[in-house]
């Protein structure tokens, strides 16, 4: 009886066009297995679901992100059905009046109310295409933001700038890396809650206070011992009395000059 009901459900008009349903009907349910990939705190369900959709790219998944229908396309048959339902869904004037009175003023369920922090987070995450993983110059995972838009607003940057940083994997304002996929899936962020932690507020403040830095210069001695990080080529030139064009050239190559090794990124495997 159970198998009959399942088959009937799978063959129903509303479900027959879903990729997973087609596969179940073709290969039988015995060919599929349910596996638990990870145990996740409720606050991170959307982020982790989006991660696996992005990282694994499951063949049968019709959605592009967690907790959202982004990427799902209705069949033409479903579109026509929804269109007809919308056309035929009319209310009488009496019904319209009752609805209006029921939702006016204090009768409105949102009257004199605002979204809780939890609901705001869910709304933001529902609109997010991909999460953004923020790392420091040592490639330590600091925090995960639900979207590029969220991060751009907090650090007063352009959406396109952050997208370029993610694509090119260049260091941002001399200290931070942004990615859509974690460098190591087993790492947990230092800051678990981006919405209300003091540590996250301090991080955002530090990023904002570094808005004047385009490219920091990391300097090492010939033995590859870290000496100093300068806010730019000009600062390094003033401190070391080396022409800025020479510093630029060697920082781009990560090469040595006159007893110094210059780099635009931290040599993480060498620092103590």
Q: Is the residue at 181 inside a domain? A: yes
Cβ–Cβ < 8 Å for 153, 208: no
User: What per-residue confidence (pLDDT) applies to 269?
Assistant: 54
Domain that holds residue 233: 217-263
Q: Are residues 150 and 168 in the same domain?
A: yes
Q: Is the residue at 194 inside a domain? A: yes
Q: Is the residue at 66 inside a domain? A: no
List strand residue ranges (DSSP E) for 190-241, in order. 217-221, 226-230
Instruction: Report DSSP letters for 58-117, one per residue.
Output: -TT---SSTTS-TT----HHHHHHHHHHHHH----HHHHHHHHHHTSGGGSTTTT----H
Q: Are residues 201 and 148 in the same domain?
A: yes
User: What per-residue confidence (pLDDT) applies to 235?
Assistant: 95
Q: Please, what is the end-to-end C-alpha distance for the chain in angstroms?
A: 66
Which of 165, 188, 209 is the C-terminal boundary of a domain? 209
Q: Is the residue at 169 inside a domain? A: yes
Q: Are residues 204 and 141 in the same domain?
A: yes
Q: Are residues 225 and 173 in the same domain?
A: no
Q: Are residues 182 and 202 in the same domain?
A: yes
User: What per-residue confidence (pLDDT) applies to 204?
Assistant: 96
Q: Is the residue at 12 inside a domain? A: no
Q: Are residues 191 and 223 in the same domain?
A: no
- Kindly report the pTM of this predicted structure: 0.56
Q: Are residues 203 and 139 in the same domain?
A: yes
User: What per-residue confidence (pLDDT) applies to 103?
Assistant: 54
The count of structural domains within the chain is 2
Q: Are residues 198 and 148 in the same domain?
A: yes
Backbone phi, then psi, for 97, in 5-degree steps? Answer: -65, -40
Q: Is the residue at 125 inside a domain? A: no
Q: Is the residue at 229 inside a domain? A: yes
Q: What share of the chain is helix, strand, coil (3-state, %, to 5)?
A: 45, 10, 45
Report the alpha-carbon distance of residue 180 to residue 112 in Å, rounded: 38
**60 HSE (CA, 13 A, CB side):** 9
Q: Are residues 224 and 180 in the same domain?
A: no
What residue ranges of the chain have pLDDT lower than 70? Answer: 1-18, 43-44, 46-47, 50-129, 268-272
Nearest CA-CA partner of 193 in 115, 136, 121: 121
């Amino acid at each position: 009886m159970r198998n009959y009901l399942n088959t009937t459900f799978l063959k129903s008009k509303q479900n027959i066009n879903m990729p997973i349903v087609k596969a179940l009907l073709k290969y039988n349910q015995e060919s599929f297995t349910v596996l638990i990939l990870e145990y996740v705190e409720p606050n991170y369900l959307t982020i982790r679901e989006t991660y696996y959709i992005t990282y694994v790219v499951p063949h049968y998944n019709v959605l592009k992100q967690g907790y959202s229908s982004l990427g799902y396309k209705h069949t033409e048959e479903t579109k026509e059905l929804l269109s007809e339902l919308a056309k035929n869904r009319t209310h009488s004037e009496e019904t319209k009046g009752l609805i209006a009175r029921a939702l006016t003023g204090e009768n409105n369920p949102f009257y004199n109310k605002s979204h809780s922090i939890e609901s705001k987070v869910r709304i933001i995450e529902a609109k997010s295409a991909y999460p953004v993983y923020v790392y420091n110059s040592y490639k330590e995972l600091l925090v995960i933001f639900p979207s590029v838009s969220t991060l751009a607003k907090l650090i007063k940057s352009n959406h396109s700038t952050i997208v370029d940083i993610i694509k090119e994997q260049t260091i941002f304002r001399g200290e931070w890396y942004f990615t859509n996929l974690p460098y190591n899936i087993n790492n947990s962020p230092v800051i678990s809650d981006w919405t209300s932690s003091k540590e996250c507020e301090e991080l955002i403040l530090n990023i904002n206070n570094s808005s004047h830095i385009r490219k920091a210069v990391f300097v090492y001695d010939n033995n590859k011992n870290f000496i100093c990080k300068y806010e730019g080529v000009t600062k390094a030139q003033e401190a070391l009395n080396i022409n800025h064009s020479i510093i630029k050239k060697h920082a781009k190559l990560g090469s040595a000059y006159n007893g110094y090794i210059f780099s635009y990124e931290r040599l993480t495997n060498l620092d103590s």
